[in-house]
Each structure stands twice: as C-alpha cells, then as structure tokens.
Structure 1
Amino acid sequence: MPETASAVTRTPSGRLALAASADKIALGPLDGRYQSAVAPLVDYLSEAALNRDRIAVEVEWLIHLTANSVLPGAGPLSSAQLEQLRAIVTEFDASDVAELAEIEAVTVHDVKAVEYFIGRRLPAIGIENLTAMVHFGCTSEDINNLSYALGIKGAVEDAWLPAARSLVDQLQAMAEENRSVPMLSRTHGQPATPTTLGKELAVIAHRLRRQLDRVAKTEYLGKINGATGTYAAHVASVPSADWQNVSRSFVEGLGLTWNPLTTQIESHDWQAELYADIARFNRILHNVCTDIWSYISIGYFRQIPVAGATGSSTMPHKVNPIRFENAEANLEISNGLLDVLGATLVTSRWQRDLTDSSSQRNIGVAFGHSLLAISNVAKGLKALDVANDVLAGDLDSNWEVLGEAIQMVMRAEAIAGVPGMENPYERLKDLTRGQRVDANRMKEFVSGLGLSEEAEARLLALTPGSYTGIAEKLVDHLK
C-alpha cells in the first residue's frame, strides 16, 4: 500500500495501520472475499437487519396495543398514522443505522437506542402522547427474541433453504441423468459389488432432502412477557387486560409460535434444534465433497477447465478441485459455530445471563459459511464431466466382484437340488480373494461348476458392468 501525503499511522511493529481504512477493509472473509456469495443473508442476519427488526417489533407492539385498546385512553390509530409508523421500518436506511449508532453511543444499550429512535419520530406522526407506550411492559429480551426469530426465519426461508434446495435439485438431476451408468463400488476402499453413478448420487440427494424437510418444519418461537416471564409489570399497570392473550396474539401475528413459559429469555431451544438440523445437512454435504473429490482423484469425473483460470502457480497442467475443498473448510467452520450456538443457547443461569447475547451475534457467520459452501459445491458440480471410459475400464479390470453373484447362484442351485454346489463361498474365496480375475478366467470357472443350464447361461452373460441389480430403478425414489 503506497504512502500518501496524508498522515500515515503504523502499528507498534512498524507496519502500515490498515485500521485507518477499516470502513473499506473487511476483517473476515464473509464481508470481504466472499461477500457476493453471502449477500442474501445481509437483509436478515446483519447488525443493521437486527436493528430494523427490533424497530419492526417495537412498532408492531405499539400498534397491537392501540388496535386492541389494551391501555385505557389509547385506542386504535388512523390508517395514515399506521402507514407512517410502519414507514419507520420500510424506509430504514443507512442514515438511520448511523443515527441509531449515535444514540447507542450515549445509552450504551442497543434496545434502549431503538426505543429512543422510534420516540423521536412520533411527534411528526402526531402521536407524541403515545411515547410512553413504546417498549411498554417490555424487557430487552422481549424485543430481541422476536427480532432474532424473525431474522433467522427470513434467512432460512428466503436465503438458505432456496440455495440448499437448488443444490439438491442439481444432484437429483445428475442422478437421473446418470441412473444407468455402471460404476464400481468401493467398500472399505476396495472393489465391491457394482452400482450406478446415478444411484449413488440419488442416495446423497435423498439424505440431504430429508434434512431440508426437517429444517422446513422448524418452529420459530417467541415470547413477550416481561422481565422474568410473569407479566408482573403488565398486571401492575393494567390489571384489567388479558395479558396472555395479548402476548399470544401478538407473537402469532408476527408469524411465530408463542412460547407461554419462559424466564426473562425465550429459551432458545428451537434455535438449537434448527442448528442441529443445518449442521447435519452440512455434515452430509461435507461427505459429498470428500467423495466427489476422491472420484475426481481416480478419474471418474473430469473437471472442465475455466478459461483463463490457473490451477497451480507452477504446474500448468493442473485443474484442482478447489470448489469442493473450499466447501469442506467452510462447512467445518459453519458447524463449529452451529455446535457452539446449540450448546450455549440452551443454557442460562437462573432467570437470565448474557451469554446468549454475544453468541447470537455470530448466527449470521454460521449461516454465511454454510451458504458459501453450498454455492461452491453447486459451482463445482457444474464443472464436472462424467468419465464414462474410466468407469467402464475400472469395471472391466475387476471381474472378481462377480464372485458374490456366482456364490449366491450356487447357493440357490444347492437349495434346488443341483449336486456339486458345496462350499460356494470357500470356492469363490480361493479363486478371487486378493487376486485379479479376468473375463476368461471367470467364465472358465463358471463353466466348470456344473450349474443348471439356465443358471450357467445367466452367469456367463453377466459382466461387472451389468451386475448392478435394480440400481437404475432405485433412482425413482427421488420422485
């Protein structure tokens, strides 16, 4: 970085102090290098989005109280007043973010800053007499738990789930396209009963979709019941109101599930449940990455070079599987955070401690690394080409995998009364274990077994490439 005529600050070690331009330089990769991949989450899980949701909850609480005439002397607002109140949320912009920061610098309390922010705008709407109703009966967690729930719900339903579903759809399409492409299996890393590439991709898609179904059924809980969940201040100030009904109708009106029993905080159990499901999706996807990486390494997939891209700074021939490697790392980071969040958020000392406040500020980071990984896997899959010749060659080099089929046919023949079918497993073990058997040797062996004519013909017609059972049909389960 070149020095300019302006004052240059340096760190104690003498390096140029980049912090002087911190507004333009990101500390973390999600706000720097990978910003475009995680941009959809900014509207839901950023600090600005959290403050906008806090304002929305406070505004809607004020509207809810007045619409239901909960407090004597504060009846329903006019349509114009409602529109102006909600405009505080819909028109929330960068200047409002800055104003909130200025207020918080004085209050040293983020939710109190939101309360004052809204209060400043009530005179222009003609309802300054209702300033005392902003944040009425609320503790900060009443606003925060609802705001986080709205933000997380939006992030999952509008950003993370669509991206994850698109990836699973992509895998499903690949499974259907390759449903009949035979492939040698490897159990314990060793040649095993053949399958099809499509069936193996279908297994992946099926596993991932089950997790998405769980995520889609998430209950997003919320509460608004005061400092220790007893409605004490509510009842003391307005004893005539049915505060449980007021609370429930408000929370459900936000599109959330009402939690009737809490301490000062909503217990966050639903968050832990959600993060466990997303982490499980991440772990399955991580397994996908390592498997695809391994298939690339043995030539089952060829990578389509990107024009102008460099695979290695010194080896010009290389096309590295960087998308899958990048995804692996980001899935691990995401899961590290999700696991910590799930473990931390379900615990709170007595009626409240503040560990959840600091923890929840990292929700966006956890989702961001998962979303980034999903993006990388999708891009990586698009750059793959199935190497049918390599798959076929691998099968043809492993005729010994038919040992299983021959053994089972011999067992069936023995049950049917065909003589000479004793010890089928041992006979095939002697022929094949640890040895390569070519087509001619296998056919000679089959011809000398004394099988019935029909069974012998069936086995002689069998090849490693045709020994895939009903793998092709199993792909239909994705439908």
Structure 2
Amino acid sequence: MDFLKRIGLKPEDLDKEPTPEDLGQMHSFTPQQGRYAKHTYQLSDITSEYQWAKKRLMMEVEYLIALGNEFQNYYGRRERLIENPFSETQKAALRSLYENFSPVDFKNFSTMDNKTHHDIVATILLSLYKMHKTGDIVDPDLMQRSMHVGRTSDDINSNVFSLMLSDILAKYWLPSYLGLSEMFIEKAEDWHEVPEGYERPFTVVAGQTHEQYAVPIPIKKIASNIVAQMEEGLAPFLVKESESYGPFRFTGKMGGAVGNDSAMHAAYPGHEWRSFYRKFIEDLGLEYKETSDQNESNMRILQFFEHVINANDPLLKWGDDYSSYLSRKMLKKKVGKGSKGSSIMPQKINPWRTEGAEFFLYEANAELAVYHLLARQRKQGSLQRSAARRYIGIPFSNIVIAIARIGEDLKKTFPDYEGIEKELLEHPEIASASAQMILRAGGVPDAYDRMVELTKGKQVTPEIIGGVVDEMVSVREITPEIGKDVRGIFIHENNVGDALEIACRDLRSARETNERLREVYHLDV
C-alpha cells in the first residue's frame, strides 16, 4: 500500500477500536470539545457545569463559616443567628462538602436542580443532604436556618463567575499567550542569524507599506514589533501596587436582592455588615464592590474582555501578514511527510493553521463583545447573565485554539534566503528614501524630485542608480564622499537605522514583562 507509505502510515496504524476519548470527540457537538479538545480540556476544570456546582457549594460553605465568626461581633437587640463560631472539626466537615465533591454529588445536584429549577436552592439542599449523611457534626437545624441567610442568588453566582474568570486569566489564557510571546522572541533571534556563506551579516528584507516596496527592515525588527505589541496587550494585567506589581483583580459583591442589603439590616439592624462583606470578598481574592444592583456593574469584567480583545490584535496582524510573507517567499514553512496543501494543486503549502486562527480570533472578539449585556441588565436584575456566564468557556477556548494554531505554524517557519535576496535585488529603489536624504545633506535641493523621477513606477537596477550617482560626482554636483555614501546605502544592511537597537530593547523588555507576569500569577511557562 504505497499510498499509505507516502504519508508515513502503515496498515497496522489503522483499523483500531476508538477509545472513549475518540468517541467523545467524534460525537461532540462543538469543535472546541471535539477536534480541538487537546487545546481546551483544561477549561473543564474551570468552567464546566461540574465546576459551577462545586464552586457554588464552596461559596455557600465559606459564607456560613465566616458568618459564624462575624456573629461574635454582633451585640444588637436580636439573638445571634449562630451563637458560637464553628469549631475546627465542624469547619473541616463543612469544607469537605466541596473539597470532596464527586460526580455522584453533581448527579444529586442535577436531580435537585431539575425539581427546583433553581441552581442556588439546589446547592443549599445538596449541602443539607450531604451534611445529614455525615451525622451530627454540624447541627442540621442550624445549617438550615443559617445557610444563605440574607443573600440573593447573585451574591453567590456573580462571585463564582469572577473566580472563574480569575482562573481563566491565570491558568488558561495567560500561559498560552505568554508561550506564544516567547516563541516570537525566540524566532526574532533565530531569524536574525544568517546561514554560513550568506553574504549579509544579518537577515534584512524589503519592507512594505500600502502593499508597496518601501524601506529595508531587519526581519528581527518585524518579529520584535509583534512581540512589543503583545507586551502592550499584556500591560493591563500587571497592576502597580506601591513598590511592586499585582494581578488584575476581578470584583465581588454582597449586596442582596437589589444592592441595599435590606434583609440583613432588617434582621440585625445597626451592625456594620459592609466591613464583614469586604473581608469575606477580599479573602476570596476579589476586590470588594460596594455599589451594586442585584448584580454588580460588571465594568471590571468588561475591561478584562476589552483587554483580551486588544491583545488579540497583534495576532490578527500577524495572521494577515504571514500569508503575504509566505507568498513573497520571504518566509517558508517546513511541511511534514504526508502533509498536503491542496487536493488538486500539488505545489501548494498552505498556512492553513494561521488562516484558521484568524477566524477563531474574530469569532472570540464578537462573542466577548456580546458580554456588554452584563452591564445593561434590565432594571435591578436580569437572568440574561446566567446564560452568558455559562457560555464563557467558548470565546476563551477559541482564543487558545488560535494561539496554538499560530504557534504550530510558527515552529515550522524560517527565512527563505533565496526569496529574500531575489526580492532585494529586484527592488533597489527601497533605498531611495535614505539616498535622497544623503543628497539633501550634500547640498542637492531637489534630491527628492530627482529620486521620484528615477524610481517612481519604474524598474531600476543598482547599475542605473550607480550611473546617476557617478554622473553627479563627475559634474561636481556632489562630493565623492557623498557619492560613496549614496552608493553604500544601497547595500541594504547599511540602511536599517536604529532598527536593531530598538528590536533588542523591545525583546529585552518583553522578556522582563513576561517574567514579571510569571511571578505575579505564579506561572511556570
């Protein structure tokens, strides 16, 4: 079977029984959980329904424990709801409700949810059921009387959502983005180096503006520009805190049904509940947001989404440029055995991963833009937010799929030195901007017009340009020194200005920023 051999396969590689993972992917409703599952599986530990149920339970338990402590500070006219703080044994038993959360627990939660049609009510019932099975470590009547007291559902769900976004940022999106940044930094250095025997000291290419040949540019500068843009995209995720940096923090709230906290003040008037809420929210790792309706304003979340959309722009730019660089033969892509660019055109080597990545990024941007509805909830609350929150894994999975696809192409990409040299030889006019400036400095007032007449819309050669310069020297219009400088600027590596200095600075800065982000978010990328 030569047709298999040609693509690197053997008959024994085929006709194998599908694994459970294979079956799951082939019947998946979405490509995110099917074809691209290897890039998205981590989200199951962050945004799945299982994690929603577990984190809601965690919020309810931690609120109950904190409330037990807070009532020791209550000296009002009403009896304390919880007379004594929970003991260490009781706290451990309560926390075991979510720390040992199992698939059976989730099934029980779903059964209760299907009856109550309310996720928070089902969460409370599940906690009572689980604690009942453990015996009398915590008084069941006390739990039933005290759990969720004074709270609205969104005091739980909005904080769970903020915690999920914190995990998406620190554990999923940021590591992927930093990994791609590091790859571009590595490529900037690798592409700069030239192979043995190559005439130029570093890789310089013909830069373009408006899709027209413009000015020489080191390939290192092209890559470092992308790196610098990515660094700017990451800047909002390093928050200056006095002498150091901290992470981007999401907000949390405990304002009750419409933000007034009326229920708690009615039951226990005169107590300073907001100080308690602040400590509780900050202990979760969130920033306390005192002002809210049923849900808080969500402006911090929208800022996060906007930052992510902005950070996608350098990747979209690269995707747009990459196809052009390949078609110009400035870059080339190494293809594996058996890889085909077309079913009809044998010569094709397509940038299919990067082109597909552009779609995923545009799709994610559009999806994240829809989340403005979180800040536009009807009156004091709306359950549009519930559907929106459950969907959050989709846009971020699209972004990480795109990052992975760009990275896969980037790994296989390197300079096409033959194509680069051919393009440079065919377009000596890219030195005309600097040449006319040297002539101006040498006393030629109409230098720009001379270069326009010589190069605009014309096919010129180094010999033609050299002849014009020699003529100007012979008639003493310019000095031999100026003539030599003009000739030298047509050696393109002599005509890159501060490009290499800027590129090195930008790469160094990006490395420092990436390292700082790793420290702040406790990453090992």
- In the other structure, the counterpart of 1:142 is 155
- In the other structure, the counterpart of 1:113 is 122
Which letter maps to 1:339?
A: A
Which letter maps to 1:436?
A: Q
**1-side partners of 2:180 and 2:263: how far apart?**
49
CA deviations 1:22-51 (Å, max 9, x no partner) are 998221111211111111222112222222
**TM-score under structure 2 length normalisation:** 0.83
How far the C-alpha of 1:105 sits from its partner, in A, is: 0.6
**2-side partners of 1:104 and 1:72: how far apart?**
27
How far the C-alpha of 1:389 sits from its partner, in A, is: 2.0
- In the other structure, the counterpart of 2:368 is 338
- In the other structure, the counterpart of 2:349 is 319
CA deviations 1:52-82 (Å, max 9, x no partner) are 2111111111111113335444422222222
CA contact (8 A) 2:426 2:461 kept: yes
- In the other structure, the counterpart of 1:453 is 480
Q: How many residues in Structure 1 have an aligned counterpart in Structure 2? A: 452
**Further displaced range: 123-132 or 169-178:** 123-132
CA contact (8 A) 2:206 2:214 kept: yes
Among residues 411, 435, 451, which one is paired with 2:440 in the alignment?
411
CA deviations 1:274-302 (Å, max 9, x no partner) are 11111111232111111112111221121
**Pairwise mapping of residues 11-160 of structure 1 onto structure 2 (< 5 A)?**
25-69=27-71, 71-123=80-132, 124=134, 126-127=137-138, 128=140, 129-160=142-173
**2-side partners of 1:208 and 1:190: how far apart?**
26
**2-side partners of 1:114 and 1:72: how far apart?**
21
- In the other structure, the counterpart of 2:183 is 170
How far the C-alpha of 1:216 sits from its partner, in A, is: 4.5
- In the other structure, the counterpart of 1:462 is 489
- In the other structure, the counterpart of 2:297 is 267
1:474 aligns with 2:487: no
**2-side partners of 1:165 and 1:22: how far apart?**
30
CA contact (8 A) 1:52 1:89 kept: yes
How far the C-alpha of 1:258 sits from its partner, in A, is: 0.3
**TM-score under structure 1 length normalisation:** 0.90
**2-side partners of 1:22 and 1:278: how far apart?**
30
- In the other structure, the counterpart of 1:13 is none
- In the other structure, the counterpart of 1:299 is 329
CA contact (8 A) 1:215 1:278 kept: no
- In the other structure, the counterpart of 2:232 is 210
CA contact (8 A) 2:341 2:347 kept: yes
**Further displaced range: 137-146 or 24-33:** 24-33
**Further displaced range: 346-355 or 243-252:** 346-355
**2-side partners of 1:384 and 1:408: how far apart?**
36
**2-side partners of 1:43 and 1:314: how far apart?**
43
Which letter maps to 2:65?
A: I
How far the C-alpha of 1:462 sits from its partner, in A, is: 2.5
**Further displaced range: 23-32 or 135-144:** 23-32
**2-side partners of 1:412 and 1:98: how far apart?**
80
Look up the SS of the partner of 1:31 in the other structure: coil
> Against the structure 1 CA distance between its residues 313 and 84, is the aligned structure 2 distance closer, same or farther, given a 3 Å change threshold?
farther
> Against the structure 1 CA distance between its residues 22 and 407, is the aligned structure 2 distance closer, same or farther, given a 3 Å change threshold?
closer
Look up the SS of the partner of 1:448 in the other structure: helix
**Runs of 5+ unmatched residues, structure 2:** 1-22, 73-79, 193-201, 240-247, 509-525
**2-side partners of 1:459 and 1:94: how far apart?**
75
Look up the SS of the partner of 2:205 in the other structure: strand
CA deviations 1:104-147 (Å, max 9, x no partner) are 01001111111111121223262112222211111001001100
Percent of aligned pairs with the same amino acid: 26
